Amino acid sequence: MIIRSRAPLRLGLAGGGTDVSPYSDQFGGAILNATISLQTYASLKPTDNGKIVFRAVDRNEHFETEATDFIEPKGDLLLHKGVYNRIIKEFSKQPMSFELTTYSDAPAGSGLGTSSTLVVAILGAFVEWLKLPLGEYDIAKLAYDIEREDLGMAGGKQDQYAATFGGVNFMEFLPNDNVIVNPLRVNPIFLNELEHNLLLYYTQTSRVSANIIEKQSQNVKEKNTQSVDAMHKLKEQAQMMKEAMLKGQLEKIGKILDFGWQNKKQMAEGISNSQIDEIYDACMNAGSIGGKISGAGGGGFMIFYCPENTKHKVAEVLSQLGGQVKKYHFTKNGLTTWTI
């Protein structure tokens, strides 16, 4: 028997950063995101040899131990260890023997929610194996708790919910960890056109998002007016993006992205840098009318809105800057699991 699981990565289109505590706890956050065809994968094979084996094929990492009810969360493959420990604590109550192999279509630190999405995929494999009675909200919340509480990793809330639910969603992050996912019924024609015009670019750099997020959180705690005001504007941006997508006002999306980017840079030091600014300016000069860094900032993927057929010129310019334009499609499905 082999249990398979996959979960989609996401493009954060608006409101990024307002899902991070303490801002979301004090003011409430709002984000609009959409899942794409880049995925994370988990394959779980039960064994009877009394061993636990973790493999991350894309990272060339391997961990093996005797079956136990707790694995010290340190070293490589922290996410794998964190999920296993929580599954034992809350559900299995006893050691299990298995091999778990994972893979991601995008590297860690790329800004597409890779780490959180991988946690969702791994959780999905255990849910499928153990037939756990968990719904979408349960899985997303559990994934969040494992990362943020058990493993102490700084970050927001949107990625776990995007990976679990899939599709285009307007998400509200309210006090007391209350999250509401509103699936948007975007006209397929509008979504096809957005996909045609929205270019995804990997800068060939990665970053530790926790460092930027910690600065952002500190700015809120210290009541940094510039930073907090910028987050308010990004929450407004999420509403603007929601209306534009539902009404098919695609000509507004580039400017809405640019509005968000100009404000996002004010949230914390390190979100942008000279390389990112150079890339952004080059794309705007080539025909893009707006864009943003994906995720917390500092590196990873960027997106650019290129109206009509300007994406070909923008892609040509980007190819000269050392990165890679990445093909993708929007997807409707979130976490998917099956057994063979």
Q: What pLDDT does 208 receive?
A: 59
Q: What is the CATH number of the domain that holds 322?
A: 3.30.70.890
Residue 200 has a pLDDT of 97
pLDDT of residue 56: 97
Residue 170 sits in the same domain as residue 203: no
pTM for the structure as a whole? 0.94
* Catalytic (active-site) positions: 159
Boundaries of domain holding 232: 188-326
- Rounded to whole angstroms, the Cα distance separating 29 from 19 reads 5
Would you state the structure tokens that stand for residue 255, as one six-digit string?
């400017």
Residue 311, classed as helix, strand or coil, is helix
Q: Which pLDDT value is given to residue 273? A: 85
pLDDT tier, 322 (very low <50, low <70, confident <90, very high otherwise) = confident
5-10-15-16 Cα dihedral, nearest 10 degrees: 80
Q: Which of 185, 202, 231 is the last residue of a domain?
A: 185
Give the pLDDT of residue 206.
66
pLDDT tens sequence across 209-229: 667 778 888 888 888 899 999
Q: What is the 3-state secondary structure (H, E, C) of 53-104?
A: EEEECCCCEEEEEECCCCCCCCCCCHHHHHHHHHHHHHHHCCCCCEEEEEEE
As a whole number, the mean pLDDT across the chain is 93
Residues 171 and 194 occupy one common structural domain: no
Strands 324-326 and 301-305: unpaired
* 3-class DSSP state of 182: strand
Stretch 74-79: mean pLDDT, rounded? 95
Question: What's the CATH number where 22 sits?
Answer: 3.30.230.10
Residue 264's region, left for phi above 0, alpha for psi from -120 to 50, else beta, is alpha
Cβ pair 302, 293 in contact under 8 A:
yes
Q: What is the pLDDT of residue 270?
A: 77
Q: Given 157, 185, 213, which residue is the final one in a domain? A: 185
Mean pLDDT value of segment 45-67: 97
Contact 31, 238 (CB under 8 A): yes
How much of the chain exceeds pLDDT 70, in percent?
98
* Residue 280: band (very low, low, confident or very high) from pLDDT cuts 50, 70, 90: very high
Residue with tokens 């708790």: 145
Angle between helices 209-221 and 225-247 (to 10 degrees): 110
40 and 156, same domain (yes or no): yes
